[in-house]
């Protein structure tokens, strides 16, 4: 079926046959070759891959630091690194994993997949998307470049005051840390706005709210959490750097400031941050469980409501990080209840996934095997989280390795295992080739054994009294055996990622061809070629069910009338996804790169002199004028 729009003289997709249409659209939407063209691209798929590669590079760097720390703690009174370097490694490891890997890797998948899943040709605000990547890249390079030049933050990934104040840490390391926070959060906020608009206004016609894939629903909630949570940490980091550089006193108790204000601002972001990192994993799980069970996920409405509940409840938990700061008992009781209540929507999701597998016909391929590992690990982490929600227990184990074990079970179990599953699942979409199943199963064995061998003993170390953030310990404490076991597991866990990297490189070159839809999935991202064409879809699908590839078959209805020689998108209504307007999508431009570069120069310069902002702002203004000039208006359908 083809639905045509009002006709103009421009060539439209209804005027051409399939082969000619594909060739013309590929030329219109493609990225030219050359360095300037590569820096100018606004193709969401290229930018999504760049996000992924960069995030995995930071994962590898952070993992190397974790191995060094575990080798230092493998035996008592060790001297592999000294206390100063250990603090720097600890800070860089946590900062890299939380800010340069955990958040960006989830958004990378969203940037690549959400436009494909909703059936559009590009993400909303594609130049902003390119800008967000370069800001993220420059922020990460700034932090790691400073580390290479011995400008190293050493105040923890949370940068608590007063330790992070200028009086106690006079170097520039905390300033680089604070500016990196602002960089990465600008990037995260930009991507979130793009995802929200793409989901609400660029869905394929017919994709009503109850037909949106659970992956897309999850990324929508994920984006809203970022939009409401990130400004808190950006405000906190800006206040910290102003305290350090221009002598404000936001966190200086002697001058009327309040050190606890930092904790409130940071953890108001920090606990939603846990779900910002965790929710993309649930998106991966929903897609993979449905595909390999050969049926839609059980309980679509409860799943969506659970996601929304998690989004709301995640903002009512931050004070459980502060139970030992002297809270009123009424406040502690409220946050205890909130911390336990959020287990309910998480539990609903787990039971819906299990019901889907139980009622389906599971196919045990590598992606599903990693998802099953995620179930075990995340549930274990959730149980210890309920324990820590209790004020008496939290008071006893606060700042011990029990807490380290808990959040690694939640974040590693909730992020890395689904993430690895997603890599195996969508690798053929990106490359057209399948990864090795045999190497995938070997990787799962190494990862599952290595992970549990690393972090389960830390529960016992915490109960035995081993404190967090110590670089060594005396032999008479009796912690040596469990630490050696944990360090051995860390080596196995790290080896599993090296095996995955090898599998990816070999498979990209010589893996088995996967075809367009090797798994028999049901969402629109598998309705196009693998890898996708620059325009994503030759013809825009008309969606009639929540599983279009399963229910609609090969003869899928389409909507026609978009221009072929211009980058034109179809904008639809929010609820019913009815055709609304045709809108021109911005062409490639070098100005987002230039804007990100100019912003980076200002931010880095401001670490050394406030005049950098005054002198650099006009340059950024000129670049932004060039970026946004000229503008075009959409056409009514």
Q: What tens digit of pLDDT does each residue of 249-306 get?
A: 999 888 889 999 999 999 999 889 989 999 999 999 999 999 999 999 999 999 999 9
Report the distance separating Cα 448 and Cα 493, nearest Å: 8
What's the pLDDT tens digit per position in 78-98?
A: 999 999 999 999 999 999 999
Q: Residue 210 gets which letter from DSSP?
A: G
CA angle 9-14-16, nearest 5°?
90
Report the distance separating Cα 165 and Cα 249, nearest Å: 10
Residue 466 phi, psi dihedral angles, 5° rounding: -70, 120
Residue 632, pLDDT score: 54
Report the distance separating Cα 209 and Cα 305, nearest Å: 13
472 vs 386, residue with greater confidence: 472
Closest CA to 107 of 166, 190, 31, 27: 190
What's the pLDDT tens digit per position in 184-215?
A: 889 999 999 999 999 999 999 999 999 999 99
What is the token pair recorded at 600? Answer: 């980076």
What is the token pair recorded at 33? Answer: 């070759």
Average pLDDT over residues 38-60: 96
Residue 337 has a CB neighbour count (10 Å cut-off) of 11
Report the distance separating Cα 131 and Cα 368, nearest Å: 35
Residue 613 predicted with pLDDT over 60: yes
In contact, 238 and 179? CB cutoff 8 Å: no
Report the distance separating Cα 139 and Cα 129, nearest Å: 16
| Three-class secondary structure assignment of 289-318 | HHHHHCCCCCCHHHHHHHHHHHHHHHHHCH
Strand segments (E) across 143-217: none
Residue 395 predicted with pLDDT over 70: yes
Average pLDDT over residues 414-421: 94
Residue 179 predicted with pLDDT over 50: yes
Residue 4, pLDDT score: 45
Q: Match 């946050």 to its residue by tokens.
A: 335
What is the token pair recorded at 219? Answer: 């990324």
Report the distance separating Cα 404 and Cα 427, nearest Å: 32
Report the distance separating Cα 315 and Cα 272, nearest Å: 6
405 vs 555, residue with greater confidence: 405
Say whether 581 sits in a helix, a strand or coil.
strand
What is the token pair recorded at 414? Answer: 């909730």
Q: Match 């995340």 to its residue by tokens.
A: 378
Average pLDDT over residues 134-162: 94
What is the token pair recorded at 558? Answer: 């389409």
**pLDDT interval class at 12 (50, 70, 90):** confident
Report the distance separating Cα 593 and Cα 136, nearest Å: 11
Average pLDDT over residues 101-110: 95
**pLDDT interval class at 50 (50, 70, 90):** very high
Instruction: Kindly report the pTM of this predicted structure.
Output: 0.94
Report the distance separating Cα 67 and Cα 73, nearest Å: 10
Residue 8 predicted with pLDDT over 80: no
- Burial of residue 358, with CB atoms counted within 10 A of its CB: 0-12 exposed, 13-18 middle, 19 or more buried: exposed
Closest CA to 500 of 442, 455, 542: 442
Residue 3, pLDDT score: 46
CA angle 555-559-565, nearest 5°?
120
In contact, 453 and 486? CB cutoff 8 Å: yes
What is the token pair recorded at 29? Answer: 């939407």
Mean pLDDT of the chain: 92
Q: Which residues of 20-45 are buried (b: 16+ CB within 10 A; e: fewer)?
A: ebbebbeebbeeeeeeeeebbbbbbb
Report the distance separating Cα 148 and Cα 131, nearest Å: 25
What's the pLDDT tens digit per position in 151-164?
A: 999 999 999 999 99
In contact, 96 and 61? CB cutoff 8 Å: yes
Report the distance separating Cα 150 and Cα 162, nearest Å: 22
Instruction: Please give the share of the chain, as a percent, with pLDDT higher than 90.
Output: 77
What's the pLDDT tens digit per position in 268-281?
A: 998 899 899 999 99
Residue 637 predicted with pLDDT over 60: no
Residue 332, pLDDT score: 80
């Amino acid at each position: 079926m083809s639905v045509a729009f009002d006709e103009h003289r421009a060539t439209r997709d209804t005027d051409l046959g399939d082969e000619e249409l594909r060739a013309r659209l590929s030329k219109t939407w493609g990225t030219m070759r050359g360095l300037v063209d590569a820096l100018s691209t606004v193709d969401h798929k290229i930018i999504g891959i760049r996000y992924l590669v960069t995030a995995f590079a930071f994962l590898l760097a952070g993992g190397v630091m974790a191995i060094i720390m575990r080798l230092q703690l493998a035996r008592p009174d060790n001297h592999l690194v000294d206390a100063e370097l250990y603090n720097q490694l600890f800070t860089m490891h946590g900062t890299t994993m939380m800010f340069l890997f955990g958040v960006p890797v989830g958004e990378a998948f969203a940037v690549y997949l959400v436009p494909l899943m909703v059936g559009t040709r590009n993400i909303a605000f594609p130049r902003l998307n390119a800008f967000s990547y370069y800001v993220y890249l420059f922020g990460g390079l700034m932090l790691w470049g400073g580390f290479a030049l011995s400008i190293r933050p050493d105040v923890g990934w949370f940068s608590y005051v007063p330790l992070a104040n200028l009086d106690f840490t006079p170097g520039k390391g905390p300033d680089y840390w604070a500016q990196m926070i602002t960089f990465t959060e600008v990037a995260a906020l930009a991507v979130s706005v793009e995802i929200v608009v793409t989901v609400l206004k660029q869905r394929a016609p017919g994709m009503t709210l109850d037909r949106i894939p659970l992956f897309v629903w999850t990324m929508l909630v994920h984006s809203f959490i970022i939009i409401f949570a990130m400004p808190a940490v950006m405000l906190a980091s800006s206040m910290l750097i102003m305290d350090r550089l221009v002598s404000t006193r936001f966190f200086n108790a002697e001058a009327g400031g309040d050190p606890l204000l930092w904790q409130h601002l940071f953890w108001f972001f920090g606990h939603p941050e846990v779900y910002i990192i965790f929710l993309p994993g649930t998106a991966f799980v929903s897609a993979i469980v449905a595909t390999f069970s050969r049926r839609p996920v059980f309980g679509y409405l409860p799943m969506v409501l659970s996601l929304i509940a998690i989004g709301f409840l995640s903002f009512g938990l931050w004070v459980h990080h502060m139970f030992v700061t002297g809270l009123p008992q009424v406040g502690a009781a409220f946050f205890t209840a909130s911390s336990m209540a959020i287990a309910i929507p998480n539990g609903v999701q787990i039971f819906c996934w299990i019901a889907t597998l139980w009622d389906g016909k599971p196919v045990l391929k590598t992606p599903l095997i990693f998802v099953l590992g995620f179930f075990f690990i995340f549930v274990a982490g959730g149980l210890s989280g309920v324990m820590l929600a209790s004020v008496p227990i939290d008071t006893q184990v606060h700042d011990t390795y029990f807490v380290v074990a808990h959040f690694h079970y939640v974040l590693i179990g909730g992020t890395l295992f689904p993430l690895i599953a997603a890599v195996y699942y969508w690798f053929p979409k990106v490359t057209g080739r399948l990864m090795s199943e045999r190497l995938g199963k070997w990787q799962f064995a190494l990862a599952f054994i290595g992970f549990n061998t690393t972090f389960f003993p830390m529960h016992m170390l915490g109960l035995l009294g081993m404190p967090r953030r110590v670089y060594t310990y005396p032999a008479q404490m009796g912690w040596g055996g469990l630490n050696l076991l944990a360090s051995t597991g860390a080596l196995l866990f790290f080896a599993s990622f090296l095996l995955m990297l090898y599998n990816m490189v070999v498979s990209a070159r010589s893996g088995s061809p996967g075809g367009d839809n090797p798994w028999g999935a049901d969402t629109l991202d598998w309705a196009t070629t693998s890898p996708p064409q620059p325009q994503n879809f030759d013809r825009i699908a008309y969606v009639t069910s929540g599983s279009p590839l399963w229910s609609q078959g090969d003869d899928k209805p389409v909507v026609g009338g978009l221009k072929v020689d211009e980058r034109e998108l179809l904008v639809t209504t929010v609820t019913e996804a009815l055709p609304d307007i045709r809108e021109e999508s911005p062409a490639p431009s070098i100005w987002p790169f230039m804007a990100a570069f100019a912003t980076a120069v200002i931010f880095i310069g401001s670490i050394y002199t406030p005049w950098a902002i005054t002198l650099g702002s006009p340059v950024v203004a000129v670049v932004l004028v060039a970026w946004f000039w000229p503008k075009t208006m959409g056409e009514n359908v």
